[in-house]
Amino acid sequence: MTEFIDPELNSALNCGVVVLDKPQGPSSHQAAAWAAEILGVNTGQGGTLDPMVSGVLVLMLGRAVRLAPVLLNHRKEYVALMRLHKNVPEEKIRTVAKEFIGRQYQRPPKMSAVKRQLRIREIYDLEILDIDGRLVLMRVECEAGTYIRLLCRHIALAMGSGGQMVELRRTKSGPFTEDECVTLHDLKDAVEYAKEGNSGPLKKMILPVERLAGSLPKVVIRDKAVDAICHGAILAAVGILEKDNYKKNARVAVMTQKDELVCVGKAIVSSEDFAKSDTGFVIRPEIVIMEPGTYEKGWKTKKRD
């Protein structure tokens, strides 16, 4: 990893998030690789974008890469431009589009990287933004893994016209929006400033890792329990100070009292099935983010005879 004079910047690069505005042309893997080369740190991406699709590409830096499974399940939002093959009355376009809100069957296209089996994806919202002749601009909020190109084709067929998607931009991925995006040129300039001693611009571009787990239910734990969790210990109820509501087997964000992410764990029991004074185990760590030694050791090792 590239080392800078500013220790706060080095810490952010070691476990942070950058929201990249991916341009049309390169694949998302190539864009992520360029960002990694610019920053001098290992990166992972959340949600693949086709070469001709632009917009929000969430990059996880350093240890934050471990949270990729969490990010991949985030909701997505897109703005798509669809071209119809025939003229369709505006009222019909808006009426038919609304019918696609809800559960939709999709079969991944031949060029996709996943198995081509029929699956269901949820469309949470679909709004027609503008209509210009046969061109229809719409905003789609959907479940991760939804193929917008297929959605456009199905909508156009339902209108009795046929048609296809001609342009697509991702505007949101989980809690991250295009308003937070930076370009590759922005990153390059900020790194050069940081090398000259001005780390401010680059630090502003790196978001805290806690944002990745923002959609998960949370528990806040005692300081004395933190280091044990960092070493893989299972969290007991007595280590919890506060808790959200969650069900058994749910993913839970385990936080410090300073709102720092310790780990993402799997709930052994639901939040309703234990009291904070219980001694039983309640959350099993799955993805540990905080480094051991960040907090003082609050547990004792048994001495061997």
Q: Is 205 helix (H, G, I), strand (E, B) or coil?
A: helix
Please give the span between the terminal C-alpha atoms of the chain, in angstroms, as a whole number.
Answer: 43
Is 6 considered catalytic here? no
Q: Is 252 helix (H, G, I), strand (E, B) or coil?
A: strand
The CA distances from residue 284 to 2, 135, 214, 243, in Å, are 34, 51, 19, 15
Write down the residue that tokens 């309640």 correspond to.
Answer: 282
Q: Is the dihedral of CA 265, 271, 277, 280 positive or negative?
A: negative
Distance CA 293, CA 228 (A): 10
Classify residue 278 by its DSSP letter. Answer: -
Distance CA 248, CA 272 (A): 9
List 6, 21, 50, 189, catalytic entry: 50
Neighbours of 299 (CB within 10 A): 11
> Which are the catalytic amino acids?
50
